[in-house]
Amino acid sequence: MKIFSLENSFKRYWDLFIFILATYCSIDIPFWILFPYPQTGFFFFFEIFISIAFFVDLIFNFRTSYFKNEILITDPLSIAKNYLFSWFLLDLLSVIPLELFIEYGIIPKSLMFICIFRFLRIIKLTDGVLFKRTWGMHEFDSTSFMRLGFLVYWITIFAHWTACGWIVIDGGVGGVSNPDTVTRYIRAIYWSVTTLTTIGYGDITPVSNAQTIYTMCIMLVGAGAYGYLVANIATILANSDIVRTQFVDKIQKINTFMKYKKLPSDMQKNILDYYDYIWKNRKGYDENQILRELPPSLRMKVSIYLNSDLVRKVPILKNASDDLISKIIVNLVPVVYMKGDFIFRKGDTGHNLYFISKGQVEILAEDGITSYGILNEGNFFGEIALIMDTPRTASIRAMDYCDLYYLDKDTFMSIILHYPEFAAHIDKLIKERETHNKSFSFKKTDSKTEVPLRKNRKPKSL
Residues that bind ligand CMP (CB under 6 A): 350, 363, 372-373, 375, 381-385, 392-394, 396, 433, 436-437, 451-453
Residue 200 Cα distances to 5, 203, 228, 395, angstroms? 47, 8, 18, 76
Residue 284 Cα distances to 289, 333, 338, angstroms? 12, 16, 17
CB of 460 vs ligand CMP, minimal distance in Å: 16
Rank residues 94 and 352 by Cβ distance to ligand CMP and give the closer one. 352
Cα 4 from Cα 62, distance rounded (Å):
9
Rank residues 162 and 352 by Cβ distance to ligand CMP and give the closer one. 352
CB of 352 vs ligand CMP, minimal distance in Å: 9
Phi first, then psi: what are they for 6, rounded to 5°?
-65, -30
CB of 406 vs ligand CMP, minimal distance in Å: 12
Rank residues 212 and 441 by Cβ distance to ligand CMP and give the closer one. 441
Rank residues 184 and 392 by Cβ distance to ligand CMP and give the closer one. 392
Closest CA to 424 of 373, 376, 459: 459
- The CB density around residue 208, as the number of other CB atoms within 10 Å, is 11
CB of 365 vs ligand CMP, minimal distance in Å: 9
Q: If DSSP codes are grouped into helix, strand and coil, which group holds residue 50?
A: helix
Rank residues 132 and 313 by Cβ distance to ligand CMP and give the closer one. 313
Cα 380 from Cα 168, distance rounded (Å):
81
CB of 379 vs ligand CMP, minimal distance in Å: 7
Cα 7 from Cα 64, distance rounded (Å):
10
Q: 30 near 133, Cβ under 8 Å?
A: no
Cα 50 from Cα 33, distance rounded (Å):
18
Cα 443 from Cα 455, distance rounded (Å):
23
Rank residues 185 and 355 by Cβ distance to ligand CMP and give the closer one. 355
Rank residues 359 and 373 by Cβ distance to ligand CMP and give the closer one. 373
CB of 12 vs ligand CMP, minimal distance in Å: 56
Cα 433 from Cα 393, distance rounded (Å):
10
CB of 350 vs ligand CMP, minimal distance in Å: 5
